[in-house]
Chain A
Amino acid sequence: MNIIVCVKHVPDATADRKFEDDNTVDRVGVDGLLSELDEYAVEQALQLKEKAGDSEVEVTALCVGPEKAVDAVRKALQMGADKGIHVVDDAIAGSDAIGTSLVLAKAVEKAGAESKVDIVLCGMASTDAAMSVVPAMLAERLSWPQVTMASVIESQGDQVRIKRDGDTATEVIGASMPLVLSVTDQSGEARYPSFKGIMAAKKKPLDTWSLSDLGVDAGDVGLSVAWTEVEETTARPPRSQGEIVKDEDGSGATALTEFLASKKFI
């Protein structure tokens, strides 16, 4: 079985994230890392591999992004993925989810031409744009079923069943491979790379593909042909701290109640 895990390199959510002058996300001035929510996808891919017995499953980490985005692939390799693919091309910069899903789909097809891909695994959202639409778009482009937002995964043969905590119900979803699977942060803590894993990662194969390798026309992706346009980005003024009181012998509850009443919440 072949599993491709999509991993995104994002600006650190705990840093001061910013936009560039052209309203794209600043991916240079802010330290980047493997999107935390994609670590859960890598983890589940590795668990599927471990359950099946090591030799039968190959896990490939796939990343679309600029030069330094390769760090996201390296992290996945350190965690235990078998090989990596980094799609990098200046023309991709500024692509929206539509463009990104096109590049990912073509990369999955290219990888699949060498050996059949059974599962494309994604995180529930990126921690930067956080649209949560790429897995559905990828499934649409590949004409595969999607089993998305999984908190629990079970697989048997070519069948996959997941538990999905939806907006109004908890559902069990089933589909046959090949399929696109996405996992939530409820699926299980991601492992840390071990020292052995970090050393082993250095020897793992890591391919770099360009748009022409994928047969994607550079004119079909990137900021200038994106199907959406950001008009303006404005930093929200920081909230100013209001009154803070120390609770002494019930004074806190009284002050809190008075504040809520003054704002007409009671």
Chain B
Amino acid sequence: MSEVLVLVDHLDGAVRKPTYELLTIAKRLGEPSAVFIGDGAKASDVVDKVKKYGAEKVYVVDDAQIKGYLVAPKAEALQQLAEKTSASAILIPSTIEGKEIAGRLAIKLGSGLITDAVDVQEGPVTTQSVFAGSYTVTAKVTKGTPIITVKPNSATPEESEGAGTVEEFTAEVSDAAKGAQIVASQPRKASGRPDLNEAAIVVSGGRGTGGDFAPIEEFADALGGAVGASRAAVDSGWIGHAFQVGQTGKTVSPQLYVAAGISGAIQHRAGMQTSKTIVAVNKDEEAPIFELVDFGVVGDLKTVLPAATEAVNQRKG
């Protein structure tokens, strides 16, 4: 069986959940090979994790020489690995960086690229959600080695022991790839809540919060969910852009999405329309968000959410 390369999504050696989803998908297509580009000293820990989800091989690319540069060196490393292994497909996490690596890699390899897949089946045939979630598209790559970026939550990780054979790989990085330098990097502070991209429950606030996100955060904590926001709330400076759900923020597809004080403009709908269950709380009964909901409360989030938080906490005992 031919190798399917999976670029490991990690934060300084800590493997992130989408990696396991990608490995699970890779198993449908061929033999999963994980590619870890990071600190070589942390590789053994990564290997232990990824082999549990079926990685037969793990290519370790020590990034000491390249981590100070943006995107391009990683694309070169993947190109050289793809050529060496004659990989039959390459799966990359659909993050900002992942998509840019994929874009450069596609040109380098002369291969077609599909981004933001929400499902990948044998073929590989991909499924994407487009036009703000109003259409579903299936597609395939017709030239070269299919390169597919996959969104979080696109598969349920399945444990399956792989051999996890380690191979150190030294990439030849050109000077041209070192043009964009990472001058400084400030890791995002951990909130203690689930990651917005990966959370099963998301509670978002908008203009209706008036800038006070406490009711949103407390309700999210009661449900064990992540906190999100509309663009209006982000543009008002009430919460960081990392929390924005919508066309220019994150696209989420949780089991439960709660929109509080959010009118439901197309910009926002694009980011949450494919959620399984949608609930809204809004003072304005004419708000377009109510067209999408499974359950809606016409009322003030500042009274409804705290009362609901208390009720949820009581039920949990």
Q: A132 interface residue, CB < 8 Å from B?
A: yes
Contact partner of A231 among B96, B111, B140, B273, CB < 8 A? Answer: B140
Q: How far is the CB of B132 from chain A (nearest CB, A)?
A: 7
Closest residue of A by beta carbon distance from B144: A227
**Contact (A260, B294) CB under 8 Å given A19-B135, A96-B112, A173-B181:** no
CB contacts (< 8 Å) of B65 on chain A: these are: none
- On chain B, the number of residues with a Cβ less than 8 Å from chain A's Cβ atoms is 92
Contact partner of A140 among B75, B182, B188, CB < 8 A? Answer: B75
A161 to B182, CA, bound (A): 10
Closest residue of A by beta carbon distance from B141: A228
A171 to B96, CA, bound (A): 13
Contact partner of A167 among B97, B140, B201, B231, CB < 8 A? Answer: B97
CB contacts (< 8 Å) of B270 on chain A: these are: 13
A174 to B144, CA, bound (A): 33
When the two chains form their complex, are residues B292 and A239 in contact, meaning their CB atoms are under 8 A apart? yes
Closest residue of A by beta carbon distance from B179: A145
Q: A28 interface residue, CB < 8 Å from B?
A: no
A263 to B129, CA, bound (A): 25
A14 to B266, CA, bound (A): 7
**Contact (A229, B70) CB under 8 Å given A236-B133, A239-B292:** no
When the two chains form their complex, are residues B140 and A229 in contact, meaning their CB atoms are under 8 A apart? yes
A230 to B299, CA, bound (A): 44
Q: How far is the CB of B310 from chain A (nearest CB, A)?
A: 8
Contact partner of B188 among A23, A169, A231, A259, CB < 8 A? Answer: A169
Closest residue of B by beta carbon distance from A23: B137
CB contacts (< 8 Å) of B176 on chain A: these are: 143
- On chain A, the number of residues with a Cβ less than 8 Å from chain B's Cβ atoms is 83
Within 8 A of B (CB), among A213-266: 226-236, 239, 241-247, 250, 252-257, 259-261, 263, 265-266
CB contacts (< 8 Å) of B274 on chain A: these are: 236
Q: A7 interface residue, CB < 8 Å from B?
A: no
Q: How far is the CB of A23 from chain B (nearest CB, A)?
A: 8
**Contact (A245, B298) CB under 8 Å given A136-B103, A239-B278:** yes
When the two chains form their complex, are residues B181 and A175 in contact, meaning their CB atoms are under 8 A apart? yes
Q: A95 interface residue, CB < 8 Å from B?
A: no
When the two chains form their complex, are residues B290 and A244 in contact, meaning their CB atoms are under 8 A apart? yes
Q: How far is the CB of B285 from chain A (nearest CB, A)?
A: 7
Q: B316 interface residue, CB < 8 Å from A?
A: yes
Q: A52 interface residue, CB < 8 Å from B?
A: no
When the two chains form their complex, are residues B113 and A147 in contact, meaning their CB atoms are under 8 A apart? no
Q: A210 interface residue, CB < 8 Å from B?
A: no
**Contact (A247, B303) CB under 8 Å given A137-B106, A149-B96:** yes
Q: How far is the CB of A101 from chain B (nearest CB, A)?
A: 7
When the two chains form their complex, are residues A132 and B99 in contact, meaning their CB atoms are under 8 A apart? yes
26 A-B pairs in the complex with CB atoms less than 8 angstroms apart: A13-B132, A14-B266, A96-B113, A131-B103, A131-B115, A133-B102, A133-B113, A134-B103, A135-B100, A143-B176, A149-B96, A151-B241, A165-B242, A166-B95, A168-B187, A227-B143, A228-B142, A232-B138, A236-B135, A236-B136, A242-B294, A247-B299, A247-B304, A252-B304, A256-B308, A260-B279
Lowest 10 CB-CB distances: which A-B pairs, in order? A247-B299, A145-B179, A227-B112, A253-B307, A133-B103, A136-B103, A227-B143, A242-B294, A145-B180, A136-B100
